[in-house]
Structure 1
Amino acid sequence: MNNYIVLDLEWNQSAGGKEDTVEHFPFEIIEIGAVKLDESLQEVGEFRRLIKPKVYTELHEKILEVTHMDEVLLLKEGTDFKVAFQEFLQWCGKDAVYCTWGSMDLTELQRNCSYYGIPNPFPKPLLYYDLQKLYSLLYGDGKDRLSLDLAVFEMGIMEERPFHRALDDAHYTGRIMHKMDFEKVKEYWSTDYYRLPENREEEVYLVFPEYSKYISRPFATKQDAIGDKTVTDLICCKCNRMLRKKIRWFSVNQKFYTALGCCPVHGNVKGKIRLRRSDEGQVYVVKTMKLVGEEEIGEIFKKKEEAKKKRVEKTKVRKQNKKKGAQPLS
């Protein structure tokens, strides 16, 4: 039997800005809130802890404005993070399935654990439900992400409880999960990227109804990542067949790479590579592959031509600059 743990966090940051921010620790958790849902998605328990900040002891003005948190009360009654986290894990119980609104909470929870030297208790890879994404898949275009308060308003489940406090936001998120057609999107897990695969054997390959996702191990440079065959392989998201590329990998902005392949059984497959950086500055790849129709194929060809024009223009500018630099002094 699964315990659905709907989690929300509030965190503080340096009141002095980036100059006073601790490296690899931009946000310090000051409140944990969660509700527990049973298999019928009914709320059966709740958890809340205030956490006394030790690093960023002065609340940032934006945090004060949004949460209306009492700074004096937080410092007086807040619990030590290590204690609060262990109590949270014990409350979650076994077979916990984590659910959040957005993709940051579990990442920051693990980052706080790392800072305080707490062994990471979560499975690897850490799969969870991003209910903000699932809401968009059900009621939007699958890309735009709606804020929690607007989603609550749209679903007609507004209560007198405020927003932007951990337990209240967790409660609202749980109510959305209960009211949405969760079974319809239950297969669309999200993956947390805080702990990356350490080697090729740990690399992640997930298959969803309409697309597949691959998460690579870290590479030292972008060139190393793009030069790896597994990264650039294009595979059918339906039958796992290696595909011949109709359009080889290209990029318009050096952050996203696109390719087009053709499966003899399932048709055209678009590949998209996103390059990301880990906390340690290494590069890893998130690659998605999905079936596409004629309209999207046209967009891919259009973007390829755009990339080609940009390359030609850069080459022209480089040659002109080289020519100017070679001119003798008068």
Structure 2
Amino acid sequence: MNYIVFDLEFNMFFRFKEGDQANPGLKNEIIQIGAVKLNQQLEQIGEFNLLIKPVVYKRLNPYVKKKTNIDMSRIIPRRPFLQAMESFKAWMGNEAVLCSWGQDDILGLRENCSYFGFNALIFDRFINIQKIYMEFGGLSKQPSLESAVDGLEIEKSLPFHDAFSDAAYTGDVFRKIYDFSQDAIINWGKVQRENEQRIEELKHLLAKTNICCPECGSQVIKNGEFSKPKKYFAFGFCSHCNLPIRHTARIANKSGEFEIICNNVIYKKDQSD
């Protein structure tokens, strides 16, 4: 079994001119994937670094360009996502476990796979190195990769915010803190299915909750409601204060623990939902 420590850089929507709109099916489009391959002794045995041609957000978001120093002249001639994933899959080999700093990259990878029609089952075995580092250091807040590199006194010889450089640094952190516990390896697809089921259960509970007027505190009868992924909205009218009320609930996932964050606010009818 090998460990594939990877990192991604993304491009995302930017309104360059009036009328531009984001693609609702893909929030972040992968434009670079970098990775190092470690054997069971955590010795580096391979490297992977590939720029990917964007086809959804074809112009670079200015923030992404500034942060990563990637420009369009470097990525336009590159291969598109499906070809890049075939190369990455072949390089990974069989019985590999993906590892990354936090959950954002595995979520982004699976979102891109879903959008472009690439089978993401090969990316189901996953280790969250940031979580292991937090347990290692007894931390309650999510640290940046650079702070972990500094905390472990790892030499900084490469620039950050480059997919390959960040993957290499994450691999260095991994070597210093991993205890080879199989408990660290999760089935990402199974976890996501369980999370989605839990979210739906919480939404049903939210639909049964009461909403109150933030002015007088009295209970308000709902006259409308709807849900979005991880969000629930309900509307009512306080007859005591003669005010329209909006109730918003957000389902947050903090290190695997779900919590509901709610508030009731007075709203104007011309406000967007």
What TM-score, normalized to structure 1? 0.59
- The match for 1:136 among 123, 134, 139 is 134
Higher relative strand content? 2
Corresponding residue for 1:15?
14
Tell me, in whole angstroms, the C-alpha distance in 2 between the residues paired with 1:48 and 1:68: 15
Output aligned runs, 1:156-195, within 5 Å.
156-180=153-177, 182-183=178-179, 187-189=183-185, 192=188
- CA apart distance, 1:187: 2.1
CA gap of 1:194–1:161, structure 2 versus 1, over 3 A, is farther
- The letter for the 2-side match of 1:132 is Q
Is the contact made by 1:225 and 1:284 (CA closer than 8 Å) also made in structure 2? Answer: no
Identity across the alignment (%) = 31
Tell me, in whole angstroms, the C-alpha distance in 2 between the residues paired with 1:192 and 1:226: 29
1:90-139 residue CA offsets vs partner (Å, 9 max, x unmatched): 1111111110001011111111111112233336xx34111111111101
Describe the SS at the equivalent of 2:183.
coil
Tell me, in whole angstroms, the C-alpha distance in 2 between the residues paired with 1:287 and 1:190: 17
Is the contact made by 2:3 and 2:97 (CA closer than 8 Å) also made in structure 1? Answer: yes
Corresponding residue for 1:34?
35
CA gap of 1:224–1:287, structure 2 versus 1, over 3 A, is farther
CA gap of 1:7–1:278, structure 2 versus 1, over 3 A, is farther
Tell me, in whole angstroms, the C-alpha distance in 1 between the residues paired with 2:141 and 2:254: 20
Is the contact made by 2:12 and 2:28 (CA closer than 8 Å) also made in structure 1? Answer: yes
Is the contact made by 2:230 and 2:252 (CA closer than 8 Å) also made in structure 1? Answer: no
- CA apart distance, 1:158: 2.2
Is the contact made by 1:216 and 1:285 (CA closer than 8 Å) also made in structure 2? Answer: no
| Greater C-alpha radius of gyration | 1
Is the contact made by 2:3 and 2:38 (CA closer than 8 Å) also made in structure 1? Answer: yes
1:66-92 residue CA offsets vs partner (Å, 9 max, x unmatched): 10113212113x211110101101111
- The letter for the 1-side match of 2:35 is A
Output aligned runs, 1:191-206, within 5 Å.
192=188, 196-197=192-193, 204=194
Corresponding residue for 2:67?
66
Is the contact made by 2:60 and 2:71 (CA closer than 8 Å) also made in structure 1? Answer: no
Which residues of structure 1 form unaligned runs of 5+? 198-203, 205-213, 228-249, 251-275, 291-306, 315-330
Is the contact made by 2:9 and 2:30 (CA closer than 8 Å) also made in structure 1? Answer: yes
What TM-score, normalized to structure 2? 0.70
- CA apart distance, 1:186: 5.2
Tell me, in whole angstroms, the C-alpha distance in 2 between the residues paired with 1:174 and 1:289: 23
Corresponding residue for 1:328?
none
Describe the SS at the equivalent of 2:174.
helix
Corresponding residue for 2:151?
154
Output aligned runs, 1:49-60, within 5 Å.
49-60=50-61
Corresponding residue for 1:85?
85
Which residues of structure 2 form unaligned runs of 5+? 210-227, 232-249, 265-273
Describe the SS at the equivalent of 1:122.
helix
Is the contact made by 2:13 and 2:57 (CA closer than 8 Å) also made in structure 1? Answer: yes
Across the two proteins, how many residue pairs are aligned to each other?
227
- CA apart distance, 1:149: 1.1
CA gap of 1:163–1:194, structure 2 versus 1, over 3 A, is farther
Describe the SS at the equivalent of 2:60.
coil
- CA apart distance, 1:148: 0.7
Is the contact made by 1:36 and 1:46 (CA closer than 8 Å) also made in structure 2? Answer: yes
Corresponding residue for 2:197?
216
Corresponding residue for 1:3?
2
